[in-house]
Structure 1
Amino acid sequence: MNDSPPPPPSPDPEKVARQRHFAIGLFRLSGAFIVMFGFLAIMQRFSWVQGGKAKAFGTIMVLTGLFQFVIVPRLLLALFRKRPPQ
């Protein structure tokens, strides 16, 4: 007797496309927030980081945010093109 579970239902392609679009938008939005946070750090708006450390920290945050805003969505799009919703 075979006790294997039935195969999962195939996902709705439209629903998968909406989820992917939402994920890309979320990455862009969070990247923009990280960039803004980095600029605030560069302007030394936080008491916990000041001086040269604030500028270095802010620069790292801005570069990270830009990477997340520009590069990550493109990588996700390339991945989604390889695996279209089925």
Structure 2
Amino acid sequence: MAFWPHPVQIPLSEDAQHILAFGVLTFLARQVWPSARLRVLACAMLALGGGIEAMQWGFTPRHAEWQDLVANAAGSAIAALISRALFRRRAEGV
């Protein structure tokens, strides 16, 4: 969806869409690679978000924005914290 010519029309703000998308991506990545360090996973998600934003410079009418990268990072951070709490609870047998 990041490279479609026009943004998807979802009844959420653009920032909320980025936070949700990268939150879900980070959470799923944590499920697939449970042994991955959260810092490494967060850096990978930040690199993915930065790569997507950089690639959008070549597409019209899409354009890259620093605010989108910040929202991507926020979504990843929130999901990382939630997944850390869930993994701890699972490890403790709660």
Larger CA Rg, structure 1 vs 2: 1
TM superposition score normalised by structure 2: 0.43
TM-score, length-normalised on structure 1? 0.45
